[in-house]
Amino acid sequence: MAVLKCDLCGRESDRPLQAGGHTFCCHGCRELWGVLGDEGMAALRSGPEVINWEAVWEAGEADPGQQAAGHEVRTASLALSGLWCASCAQLIHHVVSRRPGVLGVRVDFAAARAEVAYDATVTGVAQLDDAIARLGYGAREGADMAPRGSDPVLLWRLGVAVFLTAVIMMFSVPIWSGYLPDLGPPARTALAVSLWALATPVVFWAGWPFLRGAAVSIRHALPTMDVLVAVGSVAAYAYSCVAVVTGGRYLYFDTAGMIVSFLLLGRNLELGARERVTRVLSLLAGMAEKSAWVVRDGVETQVAVAAVAVGDEVVVRPGQRVPVDGVVFEGESAVDESLLTGEPVAVTKAARDIVYAGTLNTYGRMVVRVTRASDDTVLGRTVLAMREAQARKGAWQRLADSVLRVFVPLVLGISALTFAVGYRFGHLGVGPALLRAIATLVIACPCALAVTTPLAVLAGSQRLGRRGVLLRRGDAVERAATVDTVLVDKTGTLTRGRMHVSDVFPDDPALLSQAAAVESGSEHPIAAAVVEAAGRRGLAIPAVEEFRALPGLGAQGRVGGRRVRVGAAAEALPPHLDRLRARWEAAGRTVLAVSRDDEVAGIMSVEDGVRPEAADAVARLAAMGVAVEMITGDAPGPAQAVAEAVGIAHWRARCRPDEKAGRVRALQEAGRRVAFVGDGVNDALALVQADLGLALATGADIAVEAGQLTLVHPDLRTLPEVLEASRETVATIRVNLWWALVYNVLALPAAALGFASPALAALAMVCSSALVLGNTLRLMGGVPWRMIRGVLAVVAFAAVLGVVAWQGV
């Protein structure tokens, strides 16, 4: 078998990959070449300040087996920056895994992180950082790098493009006015060369992402907008260069600059979407333990979580998060499972109870037998599912891609045809025929098509923003427009998420004040509700002695010489209290029993109030033809009570996070477009799985991060307004896209037949963009009038100044 050298990294490979006449040692190198192109690859190989392959490889292959034995094994979590696409992650993995002392590498492109296991006696974090830096990426242990959603380089490109284009347009006044030929040769040359000099960095530096994208697109035979943008801008630029040299009447440098500026603006507006996934995954990753104490041969040994196997026994100490899913084998504790359930109540765990990775062990020591390890845990599967969900493209982006897949080759074909027909049958000669073909490309360049979606989404987001809705993802509006089913979480979403005492029996102030005295020593939400109820009634809360919290059961203490205990009404109650308890529980309330000196003195119910506007919101959704369903991790009793109170006919109770997401998936598979509204950590997976995730800003951070939309004010009536506003926004996008297509259908033949003079082409482009802008501004409701008034005032003022100058007062 032939051994060939990789054209990118120089490694020898006996299984080389071939592409574009090059040889690559691996998929990562081939893909990296696909992104960088030949010039980029040559720059990488020749520029020691960017990458030094020899230095990277000089130490040779690592031998994990040898180095692991008897050495100090550590793991480093590195935050990465500068990743362009998945092949960058491949490249980092490829190189770092071969560093001496490196035992294993996992590079996560979505989260922009690398987990590296290494032998600390051979290498260190600084060396790993250095190796990655020599590949042209940033690496730092621990904290995240600067958000990728706000790429400073792309912003600089936009800034430079806008500034230079503004100057170009200012200098282009004589050209638009038709005075260029009237200028004397020196002035004309100076002006033309100045414009040329100003346009060059705009097209080739600011527009570099499009040129690179076009090169990749052409190489992979997948036409994208980058091709038209690149061809359009370069064609306008090339046409103008020829005109400068040959003394042509018109220059298109301003057109080239406008194309690049418009499209960079659109790209910058859309870039923020990628930031969100990094934040969510970082938050979830922070909840996963990196190591676990495994009992082997009676000895507790700390190992990496990845090395824990099903069947192992893991020790979980107080204050530590559970590293794996498993069954408690020994010990007892209260575990905070709010990560999964959303309920802020620690749950008592004893032998044979199930515990989940990421949940927090509060006070006891437990030994857990592993049932699911590593990525197979509920937490791990949540992270994986979120990554998969995030990888999907927005519907309108897919539509735009589909249109462009046809549009781009069509325009290129028409342009070629224009040249061929003009030259062969029109007897125009090579020069005029070529210029007509280039004009076709220039006039068809889809500026409006590129800006219409981000602009409309921006307008839509501003409209939603005034209603207290924040967009956390660019395609949220598009997603919201198609929603026909809404799934709502109960606790904290339909309810206030704040407990209050709803009934006390018997209605004895002394009973409530004694209960409040005991509960004042506890930080439990139910205890707070009891204390608040006593305070609301103006009762004095006596001092408590010998206070003792009973995790999962309640609390007890000595009040006024009597032993008082408040807690779950689990024990046998007198018949009249038992009947009352059953009735309250059926109404969805949590029932507490208050005992004095071990005798039940009374019971009280605690409940979470339904939001007053919830029923109205549900009714309005139903009126819009949107199906509403409630899904909760709570018990059936409270679930039914809340569903009936707000008018929801379909509900599901006792659902785990993956079951919530499963329900969303089932509805999606049945052809429904599903929105999920939630606030808890346990809702994160469903929020991501849904076509539209709406999180309440008052909820958990992860839920907020996972949703595409955030409701700043927990007013559920915003929900139907969001759907309505989104539908209008998407209708506007649709009109804008149609306009862009109609414009091109009219403009293309005009240019191909030679009717498109430079002034007409410029005017058509400006009119097209203005129409899109005006149509989009309608979305802003009352604001456009203020803006239009402002713009009209500015235009009128400018007109007055123009008249003053013309008349020479």
Contact region for another protein (CB under 8 A) — 169-177, 389-397, 595-603, 726-734?
Answer: 169-177
Pick 188 or 563: Cβ nearer another protein: 188
Of the two residues 417 and 800, which places its CB atom closer to another protein in the complex? 800
Please answer whether residues 268 and 249 qualify as being in contact, where contact means their C-beta atoms are separated by less than 8 angstroms.
no
Helix (H, G, I), strand (E, B) or coil at 668: helix
Per-residue burial over 158-187, b = 16 or more CB atoms within 10 Å of its CB, e = otherwise: bebbbebbebbbebbebbeeeebeeeeeee
Residue closer to another protein (CB basis): 176 or 505: 176
* Cβ closest to another protein, residue 370 vs residue 458: 458
Q: Binders of another protein among 637-696, rule CB under 8 A?
A: none
Provide the minimum distance between the beta carbon of 387 and another protein in the complex, in angstroms, as a whole number: 20
Nearer to another protein, 246 or 807 (CB): 807
Is residue 361 within 8 Å of residue 320, measured between CB atoms? yes
State in angstroms the smallest separation of the CB of 167 from another protein. Answer: 7
Give the pair of three-digit tokens for residue 520. Answer: 């004042």
Q: Residue 548 — φ and ψ, nearest 5°?
A: -150, 125
Residues 190-229 close enough to bind another protein by CB under 8 A: 190-191
Q: Tokens in use for 652?
A: 């599901």
Which residue, 586 or 791, is less far from another protein as judged by CB? Answer: 791
Does the footprint of another protein cover residue 174 (CB under 8 A)? yes
Candidate ranges 156-164, 307-315, 510-518, 740-748; the one touching another protein (CB under 8 A): 156-164
- Part in contact with another protein (CB under 8 A); list of ranges 187-195, 380-388, 437-445, 546-554: 187-195
Residue pair 709/290 in contact by the 8 Å Cβ criterion: no
Establish if 183 lies at the interface with another protein (CB under 8 A): yes
CB 632 within 8 A of CB 491: yes
The DSSP string of 110-125 is: TTTEEEEEEETTT--H
Angle, in degrees to the nearest 10, between helices 447-466 and 758-777: 20
Neighbour order of strands in the sheet with 590-596: 495-505, 599-610, 590-596, 562-568, 554-559, 545-550
For another protein, the closer of residues 552 and 707 by Cβ is 707
User: In angstroms, rounded to a whole number, what is the distance separating the alpha carbons of residues 553 and 568?
Assistant: 6
Does 706 contact another protein by CB under 8 A?
Answer: no
Q: Among all chains, which residue has been given the structure tokens 């040129």?
A: 211
- Residue 156 or 363: the one with the smaller Cβ distance to another protein is 156
Question: Could you say which residues in the range 80-99 bind another protein, by CB under 8 A?
Answer: none
Question: How many CB atoms neighbour CB 370 within 10 A?
Answer: 24
Residue whose CB is less far from another protein, 264 or 752? 264
Binding mask 449-468 for another protein (x = CB under 8 A): ---------x----------
Is residue 39 part of the contact set for another protein (CB under 8 A)? Answer: no
489 is catalytic: yes
Among 173, 197, 586, 635, binds another protein (CB under 8 A): 173
Nearer to another protein, 113 or 267 (CB): 267
Question: Tokens at residue 340, please?
Answer: 């999964």
Q: Which of residues 125-154 bind another protein (CB under 8 A)?
A: 147, 149-150
- State the pairing for strand pair 485-488/674-678: parallel
* CB of 165 closer than 8 Å to CB of 261: yes
766 lies in the site for another protein, by CB under 8 A: no
Q: Report the residue number, 363 or 797, with the smaller CB distance to another protein.
A: 797
Q: What is the DSSP letter of 654?
A: S
What does the block give as tokens for 627? 């199906």
Chosen residue from 42, 55, 85, 155 binding another protein by CB under 8 A: 155
Per rule CB under 8 A, is residue 782 in the interface with another protein? no
Question: Can you tell me the distance from the alpha carbon of 563 to that of 556, in angstroms, rounded to the nearest whole number?
Answer: 7
State yes or no: residue 177 binds another protein (CB under 8 A): yes
Instruction: Provide, rounded to whole angstroms, the least separation between the CB of residue 191 and another protein.
Output: 8
Q: Is 425 one of the binding residues for another protein (CB under 8 A)?
A: no
Sign of the torsion angle spanned by Cα atoms 144, 145, 146, 149: negative
* 806 touches another protein by CB under 8 A: yes
List 1, 3, 69, 809, residue binding another protein (CB under 8 A)? 809
- What b-and-e string marks burial along 403-431, b requiring 16 or more CB atoms within 10 Å of the CB? bbeebbeebbebbeebbebbbeebebeee
* Binding positions for another protein, 258-287, rule CB under 8 A: 265, 268-269, 272, 275
Shortest Å distance, C-beta 272 to another protein:
4
State how far the alpha carbon of 15 is from the alpha carbons of 18, 58, 324, 345, 726, in Å: 10, 22, 39, 57, 51
805 is an interface residue for another protein by CB under 8 A: yes
Report, in Å, the least distance between residue 193 CB and another protein. Answer: 13
Nearest approach, Cβ of 189 to another protein (angstroms)?
11
**Closer CB to another protein, residue 147 or residue 521?**
147
CA distance 459 to 773: 10
170 binds another protein (CB under 8 A): yes
Handedness of CA 291, 339, 461, 227 (dihedral sign): positive
Asked if residue 754 binds another protein (CB under 8 A), the reply is: no
- Least separation, in Å, of the C-beta of 139 and another protein? 21
According to the binding rule CB under 8 A, does residue 780 interact with another protein?
no
Does the footprint of another protein cover residue 167 (CB under 8 A)?
Answer: yes
Separation CA 424–CA 419 (nearest Å): 8
Of the CA atoms within 13 Å of residue 9, those in its CB half-sphere come to: 26
Q: Does residue 184 belong to the site contacting another protein (CB under 8 A)?
A: yes
The residue range among 11-19, 165-173, 497-505, 714-722 that interacts with another protein, by the rule CB under 8 A, is 165-173
Minimum distance, C-beta of residue 265 to another protein, in the bound complex (Å): 8
Q: Tell me which residues in 222-261 interact with another protein (CB under 8 A).
A: none
DSSP-assigned states of every residue in 252-309: -HHHHHHHHHHHHHHHHHHHTHHHHHHHHHHHHHHHS-SEEEEEETTEEEEEEGGG--
Torsion sign (Cα): 144, 146, 150, 151: negative
The amino acid sitting at 10 is G
Residue 798: CB minimum distance to another protein, A? 6
The nearest distance, CB 61 to another protein, in angstroms, is 41
Nearest approach in angstroms of CB 244 to another protein is 17
CA nearest 267: which of 414, 127, 447?
447
Regarding 186 and contact with another protein (CB under 8 A), the answer is yes
CB of 163 to another protein, least distance (A): 6
What residues have CB less than 8 Å from 89, skipping those under 6 apart? 83, 107, 108, 109
Q: For residues 691 and 667, is the Cβ–Cβ distance under 8 A? A: no
530 binds another protein (CB under 8 A): no
Strands (E), 462-538: 469-471, 485-488, 495-505
Catalytic residue among 108, 312, 325, 489: 489
User: What pairing do the DSSP bridges indicate for beta strands 102-108 and 469-471?
Assistant: unpaired
Q: Least distance from C-beta 727 to another protein, angstroms?
A: 22
Q: Which is nearer to another protein, 177 or 301 (CB)?
A: 177
Which member of 351, 731, 795, 798 binds another protein (CB under 8 A)? Answer: 798
Number of residues that bind another protein (CB under 8 A): 35
Among 163, 208, 329, 739, binds another protein (CB under 8 A): 163
785 binds another protein (CB under 8 A): no
Instruction: Please give the structure tokens belonging to residue 80.
Output: 């990465």
**What are the residue numbers of the active site?**
489
Applying CB under 8 A, which residues contact another protein?
147, 149-150, 155, 158-159, 163, 167, 170, 173-174, 177, 179, 182-184, 186-187, 190-191, 265, 268-269, 272, 275, 458, 798, 800-802, 804-806, 808-809
